[in-house]
Structure 1
């Protein structure tokens, strides 16, 4: 899946699969996470958020199952 680099102190890149509703987040420390069942609206809100890390912490992590891929 293609990911887009973002301006963030903690997040390196973000990708999204609309068919599977999987949000992919690569962190600057090297870890890669898949967040499952994320609607496109939350992906769009993440990409528009002034703080990607804060949005992930408060809006994505508490709401969706996730797994560390790397």
Structure 2
């Protein structure tokens, strides 16, 4: 996999986010160390997520409930 890490950010719930454009796979690691994979996430959504001022708000409004996921 060719993971691309998101730019550094501060969040009260999210520790790290990375994206694999070849697999259209978004990985989110939370501060409690759980990780989730979101599948078939288009590159433009990942880029917008990377630029979002609030990662938590973007996750809730645009990612959760829109893409298939599993706990990693």
What TM-score comes out, normalization by structure 2 length? Answer: 0.86
Displacement of 1:2 = 5.7
Q: Does 1:39 align with 2:42?
A: yes
Q: Is 1:30 the equivalent of 2:33?
A: yes
Q: Secondary structure at the match of 1:42?
A: helix
* Structure 1 outlier segments of 4+, above 6 Å: none
Aligned to 2:51: 48
What is the RMSD of the two structures over their aligned residues, measured on CA atoms? 1.3
Tell whether the 8 Å contact from 2:24 to 2:41 is kept in structure 1 after alignment.
Answer: yes
**Ranges in structure 2 where 5+ consecutive residues have no aligned partner:** none
Decide whether the 8 Å contact of 1:21 with 1:38 is kept in 2: yes
Q: TM-score of the superposition, structure 1-length normalised?
A: 0.88
Q: Which of residues 9, 13, 21 is equivalent to 1:10?
A: 13
Query: What is the total number of aligned residue pairs between the two structures?
Result: 69
